[in-house]
Structure 1
Amino acid sequence: MPLWTLYPLLFVGVYISHLTLLRLPYFWDEAGYYIPAALDLFRTGSLIPQTTLTNAHPPLPSLLLAGWWHLAGYAVWNTRVFICMVSAAALLGAFRLARELAGPVTGAVVVLLTALYPVWFAQSTLAHADIFAAAFTLWALSVYFEHRERPRYLLAAVLFSLAALAKETAIVTPGALALWELVQIVSSQPRKPVILSEAKDPRILPGAAQNFEAGAKADPTENKQQRNTGVLHSVQDDEHSSAGWRWIATLLAPILPLAFWYAYHFHKTGFIFGNPEFLRYNATANLGPLRILLSLWHRAVHLTLHMNLFVPAACAAAVLLMPRLAGRTLSKQVVTTLAVILLGNGIAFSILGGALLTRYLLPMYPLVLLLCVVVWRERFAQWWVLAGLTTVGFLAALWINPPYVFSPEDNLSYRDMIVVHQQAAAVLTKQFPLATVLTAWPATQELARPELGYVRQPFKVAPIENFSAGEIERAAQDPGGYDTALVFSTKCVPAPGMMNLARMNEGADTRFFDFHRDLPPKGVAAILHGDVVWQATRGCESAAILRFPRAVDAELRMP
């Protein structure tokens, strides 16, 4: 089948599997940054966000969203459908890459497993920049690995540049590949032709020339064949080196458009990499060696174990003990290159980013699954059993939460969070429409911006960082600044008494990764002297509304 004919099938598959999620209001970073930034561009034409803090993320997601809204109209459902289209394009890129390296059967299995992997499944309707970057990165990699007599350097440069303009951290992948190309050029030992005319060349060992002469006298035909072979090796080495330098230039090309964007951002805002707090949280505060080592551990877990990814990884490790079957397999060069990409991203995202979100690694999951499927097929005749087992594991992880702390956006817990926030917003709208609400991000955005889909009229909000004891005690010092509170769970934490594999790491996670324990609603009510008037729990997500009766002195004066 022509490649383009697969796209409608992939889109229909993504659309139908996410049908119940398409009308959900915006979630987390969607509500906090990406949708407000795109709306500012849609309404004013400004590449720099006006109604939310600019953090120097490149503007391509906003441009694509705003363009789509001009065609289809602004609505949450339209946005979700567009992200389904982007996810389908990313899956098509993953299929093209896997088909190029291991054949169409492997490509089909990799696409199916990628689409069902909980982290990918959840991101397939969320308007985060990561799904855009993943789509362009996977297509760029499919061009980089394709078997062609003349590599398409320009196309690869454009696709990698678009990935970087979707999210700046996408430049890690071409950067790792460029470094790998350079290592191969430097470490390669060119094979020089051993011919009589080069016997005086100091680069040719005398012994080699003497051996060649002896061989020439013994067998002139063999002498000619060796000379021709030597010349061929020399030409191949030169071509390989030349191609390597071309690829390095291609892979470094995305630096240029990204530099132009940062120059424009500096011209408009005075900041290169966003506001100082954003830069501190995502980069400069993360350079301690202990934090980097802990982050490397977390990233290793994300790429091998998280959300039942251990199922395909363990199956691959097990069948490695079996003898190899006859059939197609990946070359050592390809496996090493894929490992370089995975390692480069794992290291980079152990330094960059204040939060260790798994969606930063979104384009890496198809590569991990590709390696697993290839190992299954080359060593186990009933490999389809392992594919079925992995499918069951991924489907289970969509609904069954792991026994440790994780972000709700890693599986369908994000839907539970949105639903309880919708319910809380409905209660506030009906019972306390004039309230000033004490709450934390992202609910501050949800209540203040009707276009996000939670309220029809904006509420006044009193923002706090989170619902830890310290923040609540600070809020208690200004009781007149609010009369209502919306308290909710900010992360999925195993319930008390349940198995929690991350309990021993809480100290380090609190120090380095912004982990905190939220007070329960009754605890918040006790400190702030209020009453819990509504509460709901759905899965690992919960929300509650607190009301604070205040004594107020009032006086009516004639005008």
Structure 2
Amino acid sequence: MDNSTFPVSAAEHDPPDAPTAASKGYSLPWLPLIFAGVYLLHLPLMRLPYYWDEGGYYIPAAWDFWRLGTLIPVSTVRNAHPPLPSVLLAAWWHVTGFHIYSTRLLMCLVTSVALLAVYRLARQTAGQAVAAAVTVLTALYSVWFAQSTLAHADMFAAAATLWALVFYAESFRDGQGASGAARCGAWVAVCFSLAVLSKETAIVTPAALFALEAVRWWQMRRERGGGAAGRRQAWLVAGLAFPVLPLAAWYAYHRAKTGFTFGNPEYLRYNATANLSVTRVLLSLWHRLVHLTVHMNLFVPALLTLATLGLPVLAGRRRLSRSFAVSLVVIICANWVAFSVLGGALLTRYLLPVYPLLLLLFVCEWQRRVAKWWVLAAVTLVAFAAGCVVNPPYPFAPEDNLAYEDMIRLQQQAIQQVVEHRPGATVLSAWPVTADLQRPELGYVTHPVRTAEIQNFTPEEVAKAAQEPGNFDTAIVFSTKYNPPPGGLNWASHTTQADARYFDAHRDLLPAEVARSLGGTVVWQAERHGQWAAVLQFPRSYDARLGTTTPTAALR
């Protein structure tokens, strides 16, 4: 397949090569090799208890479907997320059993399917060497690496989106008849439908491509009068429009069952209506631009690409066609803008399918302009590997690299301290630890533990807890996100106040400060790579319960 098989006009069209084996669909044998690599790289993480939104929504939702067959969860919040991840997880558990290792294994498989799509897309548009480099770099980029075993909907949606882009690319193959165009259009529709039924926000990519291809179709009809190319384009436009139908059907079903179309009112406010101030959108655009150009050492390939743009193009080197490159840029920009408006939290996993597209653009420019371009790929690979374990000098969500393992290990140890040394305690803490204590299926406890909950460990929330000291006798406090050490380098210090106002950035009180505010004692404390957790003891209620069989006011 030639590098110009995505023409905008006849002037851009060069004769294509003969279809390769990869373009015919024979890349499937690579899947076991990719899976083996993903599994071995993540082997130390396979039995970690569930993390953050896994335990907060996705696992309980799938657990409800597994036990009760309900597409709308009953044991956690109802937020109108489409049900495909729950269905797939439950079906997998029916085969393998309900346990954490099984879930992590499925996510390795889903990640491998997504990486196979990355390889196939890059090979058919840029060649085998570029495809291998882009696939490896994607797999090792810290955001992708961290999400590879986490049961969030985003990896399901990314896998389906990337396969849709494979068929989107194939739909422009020269010499393809009406039946071939219809087949590709149908697969585009199927894959994007699976994407939006995994995560509703996946509709952004087909919507952006629909607008782009509708414009190209209109130009084609005006310039050439349609013909076979116009009919082929019509199949593509129809395939890109189709995914809105299953998504609308899901929302109609959700409204019929719950009375709410887009989840509960608080969920809708947090993720949409509360985000529409101009200042917040502009700040979000800035943060998302950082996520797409700088975050977790992504600045390394970005700067290398900028440096190579001044070099001449080497003779005989393959390039992305202009029209396909435009399609990639449209997808990236659409996701950049959409996720600067939608979503209450600026989580980078929302951009998961965009990162391999960025890397494809980067690597293609390297191989066009640098004889030993693989050196640049190797430098980037080292930077990405470092990003998995070295925290950047600014606040970030622990799930963007292996800091999430540190958070899980610390919370696991703190909970074990309470279970072993304070049986029967009522524990003051914040989400997600309160959920971890209440739900044994999340992997932290074998029996539910009574809890008292606050939002976080800011002075305001701790002061609220101090007003009702009889509600708890123990506390687990922890760092709710990674922040650079006080006095150290912090690249985000100039946005601290704005981030606190619009994105819930806050400073957690340290364990000793919480203990002073609540009149307790720190009995256990640990730290891992800048994150921490501690157990606090408040003897007043706990000692009273141990000394009598009569329930005290602290019991609820």
Task: Please report the TM-score for the alignment, with normalisation by the length of structure 1.
Answer: 0.90
In 2, the alpha carbon distance for the partners of 1:240 and 1:278 equals: 44
**Aligned residues of 1:140 and 1:159 also touching (Cα < 8 A):** yes
TM-score by length of 2: 0.90
Residues 82-126 of structure 1: per-residue CA shift (max 9 Å, x gap): 100000000001111111111111111110000000000000000
Q: Which of the residues 282, 297, 316 maps onto 2:286?
A: 297
User: Quick one: distance in 1 between partners of 2:393 and 2:33?
Assistant: 35
Post-superposition Cα deviations, 1:432-485, rounded to whole Å, max 9, x if no partner, equal 110111111110111111111111111011111111111110111111111111
Partner-residue secondary structure (3-state), 2:190:
helix
Cα distance in 1 for residues equivalent to 2:92 and 2:220: 48
Matching of residue 38 in structure 1 with residue 28 in structure 2 = no
Shift of 1:245: 3.5
Q: Name 1:91's counterpart in structure 2.
A: 115
What is the SS of the residue equivalent to 2:475? Answer: strand
Aligned to 2:483: 493
Are the aligned partners of 1:313 and 1:372 in contact in 2 as well (CA < 8 Å)? yes
Q: How far, CA to CA, are the matches of 1:41 and 1:428 in structure 2? A: 31
**CA–CA distance in structure 2, aligned partners of residues 405 and 254 of structure 1:** 36
Separation (CA, whole Å) in 2 of partners of 1:160 and 1:243: 18
Instruction: Determine the C-alpha separation between the residues in 2 that align with 1:524 and 1:28.
Output: 23
**Whole-angstrom distance in 2 between the partners of 1:48 and 1:555:** 43
Write the distance in 2 (CA, Å) between the matches of 1:393 and 1:292: 30
Q: SS of the residue aligned with 1:499?
A: coil
Matched, 1:21 2:45: yes
Question: What does residue range 356-367 of structure 1 map to in structure 2 within 5 Å?
Answer: 356-367=346-357
Shift of 1:54: 1.0
5+ residue gaps in structure 2? 1-20, 551-556
The one of 80, 83, 94 aligned to 1:70: 94
Q: For residue 452 of structure 2, give the secondary structure of its aligned residue in structure 1.
A: strand
1:512-540 CA-partner distances (Å, limit 9, x unpaired): 11111101111111111111111010112
Q: 1:173 aligns with which of 198, 205, 211?
A: 205
* Aligned equivalents of 1:382, 1:96: Cα separation in 2: 23
Q: Distance in 2 between matches of 1:467 and 1:333?
A: 51
Q: What is aligned with 1:285?
A: 274
Deviation at 1:246, TM superposition (A): 3.0
Q: Deviation at 1:357?
A: 0.2
Q: Provide the residue aligned with 1:153 in structure 2.
A: 185
Give the C-alpha shift of residue 158 in structure 1.
0.5
State the SS of the aligned residue for 1:263.
helix
More displaced 10-residue stretch of structure 1: 57-66 or 141-150: 141-150
Tell me which residue corresponds to 1:231. Answer: none
- Find the counterpart in structure 2 of residue 353 from structure 1: 343
Counterpart of 1:309, as a letter, is L
Mapped partners of 1:331, 1:270: distance in 2: 48
The answer to whether residue 397 in structure 2 is matched with residue 369 in structure 1 is no
What value does the CA root-mean-square deviation take over the aligned residues? 1.5
CA distance in 2, matches of 1:252, 1:126: 30
Whole-Å separation in 2 of the counterparts to 1:250 and 1:287: 31
Separation in structure 2 between the aligned mates of residue 458 and residue 555 of structure 1, nearest angstrom? 22
Deviation at 1:269, TM superposition (A): 1.0
Radius of gyration: which is bigger? Answer: 1
Give CA-to-partner distance per residue, 1:411-452, whole Å, 9 cap, x none.
000000010111011101101110111111110111111111
Equivalent residues of 1:413, 1:540 under 8 A apart: no
Partner of 1:338: 328
Q: Following the alignment from structure 1 to structure 2, what is the Cα–Cα distance between the partners of residues 460 and 313?
A: 49
- Whether the 8 Å CA contact 1:130–1:359 is kept in 2: the answer is yes
Residue of structure 1 equivalent to 2:127: 103
CA distance in 2 between counterparts of 1:55 and 1:556 reads 42
In structure 2, the residue matched to 1:469 is: 459
Counterpart residue number, 1:223: none
Residue number in structure 1 paired with 2:30:
6
SS of corresponding position for 2:28:
helix
Residue 247 of structure 1: how far off its partner (Å) = 2.3
Specify the alignment match of 1:230 in structure 2. Answer: none
Measured in 1, the distance between the counterparts of 2:507 and 2:150 equals 26
Letter in structure 1 aligned against 2:319: T
Letter in 1 for 2:56: G
> SS at 2:353's partner residue?
helix
Q: Secondary structure at the match of 1:498?
A: coil
Structure 2 residue 302 is the aligned partner of structure 1 residue 313: yes
182-191 or 410-419, which moves further after superposition? 182-191
2:368 corresponds in structure 1 to 378
Does structure 1 conserve the Cα–Cα contact (< 8 Å) formed by 2:221 and 2:230? no
The whole-number CA distance in structure 2 between the counterparts of 1:529 and 1:359 is: 40
Moved more, 514-523 or 148-157: 148-157
Give 1:5 deviation, angstroms. Answer: 0.6
Q: Which residue of 1 aligns with 2:79?
A: 55
Shift of 1:17: 0.3
SS of the residue corresponding to residue 540 of structure 2 reads coil
Q: Which amino acid aligns with 1:182?
A: A
For the residue of structure 2 that corresponds to 1:389, the secondary structure is helix
Correspondence for 2:9: none
Partner of 1:550: 540
Match status 1:126 vs 2:150: yes
Distance change in 2, residues 1:556/1:349 (3 Å): closer
Using the TM superposition, name which of 34-43 and 244-253 deviates more.
Answer: 244-253
Shift of 1:308: 0.4
Match in the other structure for 2:554:
none
- 2:505 counterpart (506, 509, 515): 515
Q: Counterparts of 2:327 and 2:252 in 1: how far apart (Å)?
A: 33
Does residue 258 (structure 1) correspond to residue 282 (structure 2)? The answer is no
**Which amino acid is 2:468 matched to?**
D
Separation of aligned partners in 2, 1:189 and 1:318 = 40
Whether contact under 8 Å (2:155, 2:352) holds in the other structure is yes
Cα distance in 2, alignment partners of residues 182 and 350 from structure 1: 25
Give the superposition deviation at 1:185: 3.7
Q: Distance in 2 between matches of 1:104 and 1:157?
A: 27
By how many angstroms is 1:190 displaced? 3.2
TM alignment of 1:142-221, pairs within 5 A: 142-146=166-170, 147-148=172-173, 149=176, 150-151=180-181, 152-186=184-218, 190-191=222-223
Using the alignment, how far apart are the partners of 1:190 and 1:550 within structure 2? 81
Deviation at 1:240, TM superposition (A): 4.0
Deviations 1:165-193 (A, max 9, x none): 000000100000011122334456834xx
Report the Cα distance in structure 1 between the residues aligned to 2:234 and 2:339, rounded to whole angstroms. 27
Secondary structure, counterpart of 1:190 in structure 2? helix
Q: Deviations over 1:11-54 (max 9, x none)?
A: 00000000000010000100110000000000111111011011
Q: CA deviation at 1:239?
A: 3.9
Identity of aligned residues (%): 56
Deviation at 1:241, TM superposition (A): 3.9
- Where 1:535 maps in the other structure, the secondary structure is strand
Partner Cα distance (1:481, 1:4) in 2: 57
- Give a deviation string over 1:204-242, Cα, whole Å, max 9, x none: xxxxxxxxxxxxxxxxxxxxxxxxxxxxxx35x444444
